Amino acid sequence: MNGWTDELTRARLHVVTGKGGTGKTTVAAALALALATGGRRVLLVEVENRQGIAQLFDRPPLPYSEERIASAPGGGEVRALAVDPEAALLEYLDMFYNLGFAGRTLKKMGAIEFATTLAPGLRDVLLTGKVKECVRRAGKTGRHEYDAVVLDAPPTGRVVRFLDVTRAMADLAKVGPIKGQSDGVVKLLHSGDTAVHLVALLEEMPVRETLDAVAELDAADLRPGAVFVNRVSAPRLPARSVAAASEGRVDVGRVRTGLEAAGVEVDADVLDGLVEQTVEHALRVRMEERAKEKLAEADLPTLELPELTDGVDVAALYELAEVLVGRGVR
């Protein structure tokens, strides 16, 4: 399947995951900008204490508050939040138990570390609970404060455990605010309001991990969204020439003639080097074609993002966002 679907447009929480090194934070940021295009308000959230969002947007480390980091075409805006588990727990204690002062005392005593050690899943409940609060928060008019929330989530190897830990906590906490909080997070993450997107490269390991993650999400009753194929480079050979070149069959004389016709003179060593590069490129194109065929087994909407030869900066994020809008993201 190609392109963004109406079902994905209706989602309010967009979870972005991927194998390490695939560029998931970059894709999450570009997706937030794309969703904000046209006057919408979007929150971009990170939960891994990496300050990846701040680095991408060339800003100082984000505090535990929702900071405006970018405007989007058409009057939209993107805000960002780096969720800190300790700050989230203090906020939680103050919100549900009116223990703001006591919470600060507990912090000094190391009780927060003790609590998250005692119940390891509590940390992820606090993180996802804060995300849920941002998704559901409404203003005085009853309208949601954010049109969409984009979560830069842990990598695919940990994302299901991260998202589904709230169900285990809900089983542990039978009554009280923790029970209500866990139930609320479970309800959001397992609903049509949430889509879990996967970032992949056209390489064997990222493709395999993406397909494994789709199967794990399905098994956990979490909804896979779209596959973002990142860093796709355009083939530089006609399709009819790829098969022959990948098998080492390159007409050296034809290459020399073509170069001479273009007014370029090369010696034998340079010509050999060009032929070698042509074969390597054709092999890469064939590998990527096989990777695309494998990814198609996921039967999910697929959106390709181009390779950025000059690296990723703020201008590049807007470029990628424009590509996504062109693919139907809204």
241 in a structural domain? no
Instruction: Tell me the C-alpha distance between 164 and 186, whole Å.
Output: 8
Phi, psi values for residue 265, rounded to 5°: -105, 130
Of 99 and 219, which is predicted with more confidence? 219
Residue 177's pLDDT is 66
What sign for the dihedral angle of Cα 234, 240, 246, 250? negative
CATH number of the domain residue 322 falls in: 3.40.50.300
What would the pLDDT profile of 5-59 be if each residue is shown by its tens digit?
999 999 999 999 999 999 999 999 999 999 999 999 999 999 988 999 999 999 9
Strand ranges for the chain from DSSP E: 13-18, 41-46, 67-72, 76-82, 148-152, 194-200, 224-232, 302-306
- Number of structural domains found in the chain: 1
> Which residue reads 């971009």 in tokens?
44
277 in a structural domain? no
The pLDDT confidence band at residue 219, using thresholds 50, 70 and 90, is: very high
160 in a structural domain? yes
244 in a structural domain? no
Quickly list DSSP for 65-79. Answer: S-EEEEEETTTEEEE
216 in a structural domain? yes
249 in a structural domain? no
Measured between alpha carbons, how far apart are the two ends of the chain, in Å? 17
268 in a structural domain? no
What would the pLDDT profile of 105-155 be if each residue is shown by its tens digit?
666 656 556 566 656 667 788 889 899 999 999 988 899 999 999 999 999
Burial of 281 (0-12, 13-18, 19+ CB in 10 A): middle
270 in a structural domain? no
Q: Which domain holds residue 90?
A: 6-235+295-327
Strand ranges for 9-119 from DSSP E: 13-18, 41-46, 67-72, 76-82
Asked if residue 46 lies in contact with residue 152, where contact means CB atoms within 8 angstroms, the answer is yes
pTM of the model: 0.88
